[in-house]
C-alpha cells in the first residue's frame, strides 16, 4: 500500500512565476485519446491510441495585488505558456526520480474566472491549461 | 533583448531574466514581473579620420 499525502510540499510555476503560495490543488493529467478499432468478428471493444491531450488544473486563491494571481494569469488568456508542477518545491529546480517535474509546454489557457466573490470566504478560482506537450523531468 | 527580474516570484530581483522557450514574455512585462534592461550600449570604436 503506497500513498502520497500532500501537506505543503508541491510547487507550481505558471509562465515561470511561482504560484506555490496561492495554490491549493494541482492535477496533471496525461491522456492518450482512445480510438475505437473494434471490427466485425470481435466480441470485445478494442481501442488504439490517438492524439495525446494533456491538462493541468490548478485551484488558486485569487489576489489582485501586484505580481500575484490575477497579474500572473490575466494576460495569458487565449495564449499558450509553460506550466511546471512538482510534488516538491525542490523538484521544480532539481528534479529527481522521487521528485519529478511535470512540464507542459504550449499549454493553452482558455478561460480565467476574473472574480469569484462569496461573503465570508476567501476568493478562489479553478483554471485549466489544455493541450501542449507534457514532459516528465527526473534529472 | 535582456530582461531584469522585478518580482521575487520569478527569482532574485535585479538578476538577469533569461526566458525559456514557450514562456509568454509579454505577459511578464505587462504586469511588471520583469523589465527590459536598458543598459547604455557600448560606444562604437571608430578610428579618427585623417584630413589631408
Q: A with B: how many residue pairs have Cβ under 8 Å apart?
A: 57
**What band does B21 get if pLDDT is binned at 50, 70 and 90?**
confident
Q: Tell me how crowded residue A123 is: count the other CB atoms within 10 A of its CB.
A: 15
Q: What local confidence, expressed as pLDDT, does residue A8 receive? A: 67
Phi (first) and psi of residue A33, to 5 degrees: -60, 135
Show which of residues 106-125 on chain A sit within 8 Å of chain B, judged by CB atoms.
106
Q: Is the pLDDT of residue B45 over 80?
A: no
**pLDDT confidence bin for B1, thresholds 50/70/90:** confident
* Domain locations in chain B as residue ranges: 3-33
Contact B22 A66 (CB under 8 A): no
According to the per-residue pLDDT averaged within each range, which of A104-113, B13-22, B29-38 is highest? A104-113
A30, A13 in Cβ contact below 8 A? no
pLDDT over threshold 80, residue B50? no
Provide, as residue numbers in chain A, all residues whose Cβ is less than 8 Å from the Cβ of B30: 75
Q: According to the model, what pLDDT value does residue A92 have?
A: 94
How many Å apart are CA A105 and CA A108, to the nearest integer? 9
The backbone torsions φ and ψ at residue B5, rounded to the nearest 5 degrees and listed phi first, read: -75, 135
State the ipTM, two decimals: 0.81
Identify the segments of chain A with pLDDT beneath 70. 1-3, 5-8
Name the strand (E) or helix (H) holding A72.
Answer: helix A69-73
Give the whole-angstrom CA distance, residue A77 versus residue A79.
Answer: 5
One-letter-per-residue 3-state SS of chain B? CCEEECCCCCCCCCCEECCCCCCCHHHHHHCCCEEECCCCCCCCCCCCCCCC
- Provide the pLDDT confidence category of residue B38 given band limits of 50, 70 and 90: confident
Domain A11-137 annotated CATH 2.30.110: yes
* Nearest residue, CB atoms, B33 vs list A67, A79, A106: A67
Chain B environment of A16 (Cβ under 8 Å): 10, 19-20, 23, 28
Q: Residue B44: pLDDT above 90?
A: no
HSE of B12 in the Cβ direction (CA atoms, 13 Å)?
3
Instruction: Test B20 with A82 for CB contact under 8 angstroms.
Output: yes
Amino acid at each position: 500500500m503506497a500513498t502520497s499525502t500532500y501537506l505543503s510540499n508541491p510547487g507550481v510555476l505558471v509562465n515561470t512565476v511561482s504560484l506555490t503560495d496561492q495554490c491549493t490543488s494541482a492535477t496533471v493529467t496525461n491522456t492518450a485519446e482512445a480510438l475505437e478499432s473494434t471490427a466485425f468478428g470481435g466480441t470485445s471493444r478494442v481501442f488504439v491510441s490517438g492524439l495525446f491531450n494533456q491538462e493541468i488544473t490548478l485551484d488558486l486563491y485569487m489576489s489582485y495585488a501586484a505580481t500575484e494571481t490575477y497579474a500572473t494569469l490575466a494576460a495569458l488568456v487565449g495564449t499558450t505558456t509553460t506550466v511546471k508542477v512538482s510534488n516538491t518545491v525542490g523538484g521544480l529546480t532539481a528534479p529527481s526520480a522521487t521528485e519529478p517535474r511535470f512540464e507542459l509546454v504550449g499549454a493553452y489557457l482558455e478561460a480565467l474566472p476574473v472574480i469569484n466573490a462569496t461573503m465570508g470566504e476567501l476568493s478562489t478560482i479553478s483554471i485549466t491549461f489544455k493541450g501542449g506537450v507534457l514532459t516528465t523531468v527526473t534529472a | 533583448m535582456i530582461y531584469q527580474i522585478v518580482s521575487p516570484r520569478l527569482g532574485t530581483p535585479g538578476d538577469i531574466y533569461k526566458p525559456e522557450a514557450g514562456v509568454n514574455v509579454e505577459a511578464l512585462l505587462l504586469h511588471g514581473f520583469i523589465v527590459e534592461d536598458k543598459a547604455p550600449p557600448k560606444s562604437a570604436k571608430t578610428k579618427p579620420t585623417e584630413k589631408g
